[in-house]
Amino acid sequence: MKTVDIEIYHQSFTLHPSGAIFWQETQMVLIADVHLGKVSHFRKHGSAVPQDSIQKNFDQLDTVISFFAPKVVCFLGDLFHSSLNSEWSLFEKWVSLQQDIQIVLVAGNHDIISPLKYEALDIHISEEWQIGSILLTHHPEERENTFNFCGHIHPGIMLNGLGKQKLKLPCFFQSPYQMILPAFGEFTGTYVLEPDQEDHVYAVTQNEVILIS
């Protein structure tokens, strides 16, 4: 497993191939756009989405937590895709197994489940979370004297190979005052972004984070 360490505003962050980021000083994992419940939602409406995609999301969460052993897990929005369905009970079980880990949800546009359901699981929910000069949100935000970690976009990068071959990969997309995390969920898709000269793009594969530009 190849990660990449970066420094932002004198803080240390580790980019993980899952799409998660570990903030070392706070012992916090940042995760965006898991979209739990999306697989069940589409299967219910007749889409041929593989059933094992549901378990892959939880397996990936377990992998990240085992790798970093965080004290806090902060979901940057769109944790659950839609209204309650069968995946909520799986999420409840997963939360019950996270001993001594604080879970926080910075709500996104798909997070329409009642906050009372999250509070019953001892999950704190808010619209944003600012820690010093670091701003955690779902939608990208630009504010003076802050660096924003966010999701929502599902960023991707198109790589060009020999013979007109193209490969689209999810990526961490870093501009001077912002880092957009790739979607963590198994069934989410990507939106290709074009970097400017001052941007940095870190493509993610199954086992590696790769600096592209």
Q: For residue range 121-166, list pLDDT tens digits in order.
A: 999 999 999 999 999 999 999 999 999 999 999 999 998 876 678 8
Kindly list the domain boundaries of the chain, sorted by start residue. 4-211
Q: Which of 52, 61, 134, 131 is nearest to 101 (CA)?
A: 61
Over 90: is that where the pLDDT of 109 sits? no
| pLDDT at residue 41 in the model | 46
Which residues are CB-contacts of 24 (< 8 A; sequence separation ≥ 6)? Answer: 11, 12, 13, 14
Q: For residue range 156-184, list pLDDT tens digits in order.
A: 999 887 667 889 999 999 999 999 999 99
Q: For residue range 65-105, list pLDDT tens digits in order.
A: 999 999 999 999 999 867 677 789 899 999 999 999 999 99
So what's the architecture of 4-211 in CATH? 4-Layer Sandwich (3.60)
Residue that has been written with the tokens 């012992």 in this structure = 27
- What's the CA gap between 72 and 65, in Å, rounded? 10
Residue that has been written with the tokens 């799986």 in this structure = 90
